[in-house]
Chain A
Amino acid sequence: MELGTGHHESDASARLGWWLISCLAITVLLTLGSLLIGTSSIETSLGWLLSPDAQSSVVLWQIRLPRSVGAWFAGALLGLAGAIAQGVFRNPLAEPYLLGTASGAALGVTISLIAADASMTGLAWASRLGVTGAAFIGACGATLLTISLSRGVLQTAGLLLAGVVVAFLLGALTQLLLLAKPEIWRSMQTFLFGSTGFISWSSASLLGAVFCLCVVPAILLSRGLDALTLGEDTAQSLGLSLPMLRLTLLGVVSLATATAVGQVGVVGFVGLVAPHLVRETLSVNHRQLLIGAPLCGGALLQAADLASRWVIRPAELPVGAVTACVGGTYLVLLLWRRSRDG
């Protein structure tokens, strides 16, 4: 029949196609840019790229490239998690950290730093775990705490509230620990602001693997998120299992966020802004959104990473500060446009 095969739908898919291609092109450009920009001047970097020697290829291929690739995957994970969270909670302001992930990660890192400071066994454990491992465990623990506080995943309002409670609680605990041990504050700071500076090939490939693991179930369940936009009753009446959908998708959000936080720290706004950027530029259902938001989030964090190296070079800004500035500005612009149009 003429439904769905009309030129409107092919228009829409052509637009999606162009959108994806331009997103990927931007990513390629940013990757190239990130090879050229660093503590050395661009001319030097260009020279390294054209006539590589042993030392310069280490800088280019073992430091700059994994950093850029890892930043892309971390941003993609946050974009994906944000898009899913906004769908599951049916709230455009939902973001990846709303289950208490960020505060849990911060607490995990604080405890590991204190343990490393306190005793030799603690140091051995902390160094084996690393900052990333401690952050990941803290993030997972906080998520589980949130879910158990709200007694399951069925009540979204209860879940949001529990997330706020857990964030405050763990935040307070972190502050208390920092009061007792003020000397770890400086190492904490790097983490709290978010940083792409520590990404090696191993962490980039970990981020990439988790991204592949997360994006597949999310896209498979995208029709469920579409149905959920019609309301919970209607979604259930269509034959959808809400508990299964919520549990799976929140699992994906938790894994994606915990992994990203573990590798790059608490990078704000990417998960919130990326889905909005996709929605603003593309009329989308959730399948398209869940493809678009990671691409957008990846490019965003890559760009932020590049900017963090460029603005006050040869020194670096914390990447989290860059995303907060850019993301915050974008949201204010969005707000202004909405109130003008409305």
Chain B
Amino acid sequence: MGDAEPYIEPTPALACRDLAVGYGTRIVLEGISLDIWQGRWTAVVGPNGCGKSTLLRALAGLASPRAGTISLQGRRLSAWSRRERARRLGWLAQTSAATDLTATEVVALGRFAHSGWLAHRQADDDAAMHRAMLATGSLAWAERRLSTLSGGERQRVHLARVLAVEAPVLLLDEPTTHLDPPHQEDVARLLREQAHRRGVSVVSAIHDLSLALTADRLIVLGHRGVIGHGTVRDALAGDWLSAAFETPVHVVDHQGVHLWRPALEPLGRD
């Protein structure tokens, strides 16, 4: 889809080689090698429990790998200092915490890697926060406490916090959870815009297959590792989704839009 547009020549912003990650005695991912292209929005899809979150956590440096290497902008992830890394990698967790902080205070935490412990907010911090809250439509709740917001509103504040980092690489675990379909589309549009207009490399786990198929690239994960990594066209041509979910997955082309079609037929009676 989007890959027909003229981009700058893609180079990997984030790459891993022979990555193995696990918790305790359980190995969740093994032998993963991926290049995350710069200026593209990559969606990670796969069945529950296949390790989407684990992959994103590992790429963000939050789960230390058992084996293999991860490099960020050509340099080993562990070689970056904590603050340098935090300025380059934005991370959105799957659960959006309901804290007593106000939306503005939460978004300001996104500037921590820039301003540090003591510094007061500078004009550029304020500008970045304003842009991020405008883009996510969360300015209206700027002074509301997060615990008083709905799940979807909270999710947008957290998204604003990630955008406020202004990192070249964004790793988002299910950024569209808790959002109603129109707002899911808003987020998808936002991610595409970040990738295409600002050259940000966006990687997001997405549950909704139709939404995931609007991304530039797909990483399809199955229970036995990466089924495929490429453009949406590659994924559909190779039927990667059926392989990943271990059941036939039907995608229909509706006027150029790829839609996931449930196999379950409608009832056909009232």
Which A residues have a C-beta under 8 Å from some C-beta of B? 1-4, 6, 8-9, 12, 220-221, 223-224, 226-227, 229-231, 233-234, 236-241, 279, 283-285
Contact = CB atoms under 8 A, between A and B. Distances in A.
B86 interface: yes
A285 B106 CA distance: 10
B240 to A, nearest CB: 28
Contacts of B123: 1
A230 B93 CA distance: 9
A221 B117 CA distance: 7
B13 interface: no
B99 A229 contact: yes
Top 10 A-B pairs ranked by shortest CB distance? A239-B86, A237-B91, A8-B143, A239-B113, A229-B99, A1-B130, A239-B83, A238-B112, A230-B97, A1-B126
B112 A4 contact: no
Contacts of A226: 99, 101, 105, 109
Contacts of A229: 97, 99-101
Given A239-B112, A241-B82, A9 B91 contact: no
17 contacts: A1-B130, A3-B130, A4-B108, A4-B126, A6-B143, A223-B117, A226-B99, A229-B97, A230-B97, A230-B161, A233-B57, A237-B86, A237-B93, A238-B112, A238-B113, A279-B100, A285-B101
Interface of B: 57, 60-62, 82-83, 85-87, 89-91, 93, 95, 97, 99-102, 104-106, 108-110, 112-113, 117-118, 121, 123, 126-127, 129-130, 133, 142-143, 145, 158, 161, 165
B143 A9 contact: yes
A238 B105 contact: no
Nearest to A234: B93
Given A223-B112, A239-B87, A4 B121 contact: yes
A222 B229 CA distance: 42
B87 A234 contact: no
Nearest to B144: A8
A230 B91 CA distance: 12
Contacts of B60: 233, 237
Contacts of A6: 142-143
Majority DSSP secondary structure for residues of A touching B: loop
Most buried by B among A4, A220, A221, A285: A4
Q: Which has the most chain B C-beta neighbours within 10 Å: A220, A233, A240? A: A233
A1 B127 CA distance: 7
A231 B97 contact: yes
A1 B134 CA distance: 12
Contact of B145 (A4, A220, A283): A283
Nearest to A286: B101
B105 A2 contact: no
Contact of A230 (B83, B99, B143): B99
A2 B133 CA distance: 12
Nearest to A240: B112
Contacts of A279: 100
B62 A238 contact: no
Contacts of B91: 233-234, 237
A234 B62 CA distance: 9
A49 to B, nearest CB: 44
A220 B118 CA distance: 7
A285 B146 CA distance: 12
Contacts of A4: 104, 108, 121, 126
Nearest to A11: B143
A221 B105 CA distance: 15
A237 B80 CA distance: 13
A65 B126 CA distance: 48
Given A3-B126, A9-B143, A224-B117, A236 B62 contact: yes
Nearest to A245: B117
A54 B102 CA distance: 56
Contact of B105 (A1, A239, A285): A285
A168 B198 CA distance: 58
A227 B109 contact: yes
A231 B57 CA distance: 13
A238 B130 contact: no
Interface centre among A3, A9, A237, A238 (most CB of B within 10 A): A237
Given A230-B97, A233-B62, A236-B62, A3 B109 contact: no
A237 B161 CA distance: 12
Contacts of B100: 229, 279, 283-285
A2 B130 contact: yes
Contacts of A3: 104, 126, 129-130, 133, 142
A220 B117 CA distance: 7
B112 to A, nearest CB: 5
Contacts of A223: 109, 112, 117
A38 to B, nearest CB: 41
B112 A233 contact: no
Contacts of B117: 220-221, 223-224
Contacts of A230: 93, 97, 99, 106, 109, 158, 161
